[in-house]
Amino acid sequence: MTVLFIRALYYFLVILSTLIVVSALISWLPINHGSFLVRLLHSIIDPVLGPIRTMIKKSIFGGANMALDFSPFIAYLILTTLQNYLRPYM
């Protein structure tokens, strides 16, 4: 039972980190950001990136004049670290 839960959590983290990369790539493309799939993607990813964005804005690195959003990169690092931690228990 525990192995099944760890595997499910691991694959959930893999899918979530992949969606973060896809979302970051889509943000650079000249596509319709109001389409259903893009809105669905953002509705899945924004609860993960929102707290990270808030912490960045409150830090000395944040503020209104930030040119780049580093929250996808930070979230990806956190998720891959968790994946690497769970991998030996599978």
Mean pLDDT, the chain, rounded, equals 90
Confidence check: pLDDT of 63 > 80: no
Tell me the CA distances in angstroms from 48 to 30, 32, 38, one per residue in order: 24, 23, 16
pLDDT tens digits for 72-83? 999 999 999 999
pLDDT at 68: 81
Q: Over 80: is that where the pLDDT of 1 sits?
A: no
Residue 64 CA to residue 83 CA, distance in Å, equals 33
Q: What SS3 class is residue 18?
A: helix
Whole-number Å distance between alpha carbons of 57 and 83: 27
Mean pLDDT of 33-56: 92
pTM of the predicted model, to two decimals? 0.86
